[in-house]
Amino acid sequence: MAGPLEELVTRIHRRIDTFRDDHGLEGVSVSVELQDGSLLRLARLSHEPGFGFVTLCPHHEEGEPEEVIVPLGMIREIRIAAVEPEQRLGFSLPAGV
């Protein structure tokens, strides 16, 4: 795996911010599809714990919050889109991005 995960996640956050600005959006929706076909609508994405793994923090409406730590190779697709009017869930960029 080339390059540090922290830089990769920083660049993904930058891409999300650019998408939002380019399209004049207040908020965006970010979802990740994993190799097994599962789709997670994210609240946050973290480069921790590293060593080829990232932490996905999906939105939760009921029950306990959760974090999913996955190897980077399990991610099939990251999708950035405008938040649909009926969607209330968006993605939070870290401060300073």
- 7: tokens are 């830089």
CA atoms lying within 13 Å on the CB side of residue 70: 19
Question: pLDDT of 7-53, one tens digit each?
Answer: 999 999 999 999 999 999 988 999 999 999 999 999 999 999 999 99
Mean pLDDT score across all residues of the chain? 88
Residue 90 has pLDDT above 90, yes or no: no
Lowest mean pLDDT among 8-12, 54-58, 72-76, 81-85: 81-85
Is 65 or 69 the better-scoring residue by pLDDT?
69
Q: Which structural domains are found in the chain, ordered by start?
A: 5-82 (2.30.30.100)
Predicted model pTM: 0.79
Share of the chain above pLDDT 90, in %: 69
Contact between residue 91 and residue 30 where contact means Cβ atoms under 8 Å apart: yes
